[in-house]
Structure 1
Amino acid sequence: MTSALNTPLSRRSLFVTGVLGLATATTAATIAPASAAEQEWTEEFMTRPETREGFAIDAMDDWQVENAKFVIAVVTGHDLGEEAATIALATAIVESWLYNYEPAVDADSGGLFQQRPSMGWGSYDEVRHKKLAIEAFLGVGEHAAAPGLLQAAPDYASWDVGAVAQLVQGSAHPERYGQQVAAARTLWDRYADDVEPYTD
């Protein structure tokens, strides 16, 4: 990870700091949320080894909650709203259970969206850099050559969420995105009102 990816991004944002290099950790129990006044976003982001434990919205750990909030923050920071956030959240649930995976777990893929450097989504570090990965998915990341949401479907709000997520991702299992739409909408309803748009 380059030094540019390790610097705090904002001290006004209202979220807990993660720790780089926790790929060997098996729990986030030791990471206690700070009070709202002390919370901030950094790109010293929380990582986990891959698991196939599934996703249960009412059993999310701190890692998953903070990553869901950050997706919402970045989406709204680009003046995109509920539909874009729902698509991004449903995709990240399917691809990573809302964990920011550090190692390559499927060919050269990694990060929240399991983006592949070999497919134009950015470098090894960039697909694991949460803000850059979200921006690449949305199609607002200048570092990525692959078409994101805004390029693939400028009228995404009129699309079925699962279909437009598949259009961006090109998954071998396209049916999985639609299965997580209800969870994604619940996350938006649960957290959007308390998350400041992230613009840094």
Structure 2
Amino acid sequence: MPASPASALSRRHLLLAGAVGLTSLTTLGALAPARAEEVWSEEFLTRPETREGFLVDDMDEWQIENARFLIAVIKGHELDEQAGVITLATAIVESWLRNYEPAVDLDSGGLFQQRPSMGWGTAGEVRHKKRAVDAFLGLGAHSEAPGLLDLAPDYREWAPGRAAQAVQISAHPERYAAQVPAARALWDRHAGDVAPYTD
């Protein structure tokens, strides 16, 4: 992973490193203290992240921040845990919770590997984390592709993996269900102390 710019070493980053570090989610459980309100900067929303790999028990700072941001957006839309699990499982499968640049598959990019050529927005928009989440949910005005709430408005009645596949139309639909336990672990670990994000 490339070194973070000096401007990224904020008090929030130091808190993440100190309170969470690279310790196992299982070990930490619900023991981490509540955090101060997080500020999601434009640099955070658009920075390049290119290292592959995802391990739920060995997530680094950027993966943790991305998971927390997805949860913040879900809560900002007043959606529930099921929507959060579907969204997190999808991002784990598609990007290992990394905001990919450059594209790793044709013109795919970002947390959800959305393709501008398939109507998900511009190359910049699919890598803008808030716009990417909104598009996945079907709440992004910039996106022409149908999202979760378009395709599965009754998503609470769907198996999470099936709901993710309805949006992503993957050649490997079984992969989403396989990451549901990891997604639930992330929701359980972080949802209680992440404030809704609505900007």
Same-fold status (TM-score > 0.5): yes
Q: Report what 1:21 is aligned to.
A: none
Q: Give the direction of change, closer, same or farther, for the CA distance of 1:144–1:29 in structure 2 (3 Å limit).
A: closer
Alignment map for 1:175-186 (pairs within 5 Å) = 175-186=174-185
Post-superposition offset of 1:34: 3.8
Partner in structure 2 of residue 169 of structure 1? 168
Distance 2:158 2:177 in 1: 12
Give the secondary structure class of the aligned counterpart of 1:44: helix
Q: Which residue pairs with 2:191 in the alignment?
A: 192
Q: In the TM superposition, what is the alpha-carbon distance from 1:47 to its structure 2 partner?
A: 2.2
* Partner amino acid, structure 2, of 1:49: T
TM-score by length of 2: 0.82
1:49-88 CA-to-partner distances (Å, cap 9, x unmatched) read: 252x3x2111000000000000000011001010000000
Segments ≥4 residues shifted beyond 4 Å? 27-32, 35-39
Cα displacement (A) at 1:135: 0.3
Question: What is residue 71 of structure 2 aligned with on the other side?
Answer: 72
Question: Matched residue of 1:57: which SS?
Answer: coil
Tell whether the 8 Å contact from 1:50 to 1:105 is kept in structure 2 after alignment.
no
Partner of 1:89: 88
Alignment partners' CA distance in 1, 2:82 and 2:151: 15
Alignment length (residue pairs):
174
Alignment partner of 1:49 is 2:50: yes
> For residue 62 of structure 2, what is the aligned residue in structure 1?
63
Alpha-carbon distance between aligned partners in 1 of 2:153 and 2:77, rounded to the nearest angstrom: 14
Q: Residue by residue, what CA displacement relative to the aligned partner does 1:78-107 show, whole Å, maximum 9, x if unpaired? A: 010100000000000000000011211100
CA–CA distance in 2 between the matches of 1:143 and 1:34? Answer: 34
Q: For 1:93, what is the secondary structure of its paired residue? A: helix
| Aligned amino acid, residue 178 of structure 1 | A
Instruction: Show CA shifts across 1:103-153 (max 9, x none).
Output: 111000000000000011000000000000000000100000000000000
Q: 1:120–1:145: 8 Å Cα contact kept in structure 2?
A: yes
TM-score (norm 1): 0.82
- The corresponding residue for 1:13 is none
Structure 2 Cα separation of the partners of residues 87 and 37 of structure 1: 26
In 1, the alpha carbon distance for the partners of 2:37 and 2:5 equals 19
Contact kept? 2:37, 2:195, Cα under 8 Å: no
Change in CA separation of 1:60 and 1:134 when aligned onto 2, cut-off 3 Å:
same
* Matching residue of 2:31: none
Measured against aligned partners, the alpha-carbon deviations of 1:146-166 in whole angstroms (never above 9, x if no partner) come to 000000000001001111100
Q: SS of the counterpart of 2:43?
A: coil
In percent, how many aligned pairs have the same letter?
62
Counterpart Cα distance in 2 of 1:136 and 1:174: 20
1:149 corresponds in structure 2 to 148
Q: Structure 1 residues 179, 28: CA separation in 2 closer, same or farther (over 3 Å shift)? A: farther
The answer to whether the aligner puts 1:108 opposite 2:107 as a matched pair is yes
For residues 119 and 182 of structure 2, the distance between their equivalents in structure 1, rounded to whole angstroms, comes to 29
Deviation at 1:40, TM superposition (A): 1.4
Give the secondary structure class of the aligned counterpart of 2:57: helix
Q: Secondary structure at the match of 1:59?
A: coil
Paired with 1:106 and 1:50, the residues of 2 have a C-alpha distance of: 15
Paired with 1:71 and 1:189, the residues of 2 have a C-alpha distance of 13
Question: Alpha carbon RMSD of aligned pairs, Å?
Answer: 1.8
Q: Which has more helix, going by share of residues?
A: 2
